[in-house]
Amino acid sequence: MRPEGRKKKKKKPSSWHVVHFPVHLSATRMSRSRGREGGGRPIPPWRWRAAPPKKEKKEKKKKKKKKKKKKEKKKKKKKKKKKKKKKKKKKKKKKMVPP
């Protein structure tokens, strides 16, 4: 967000853009300039210049990848769960009372 009243500066197109695109503002404007979408205007002579020559890339030697040996995984032993023994409740002996 910019403060009100200030205009946004228009970016100048890069030289590459000027060379490669006839009109560098927007796609619709570009297509109109080439005779599509009803418009049509000749490309100005100052845009006739050729694109800059491409630099030749040096071929790089590919390095051979070393294959890694797979380590054998040791199987983990599963621990057996111990069953808890239930404690037996002792029955209280009823005291014998004479009748």
Q: What is the distance between the alpha carbons of residues 17 and 29, in angstroms, rounded to a whole number?
A: 14
Mean pLDDT of successive 10-residue stretches along the chain, which has 99 residues: 70 68 54 52 63 75 82 81 84 78
- Per-residue pLDDT, 2: 61
pTM for the model stands at: 0.14
For the stretch 37-43, contacts whose Cβ atoms lie closer than 8 Å and that sit 24 or more positions apart, written own/partner, are none
**Domain ranges, ordered by start, for the chain:** 15-47
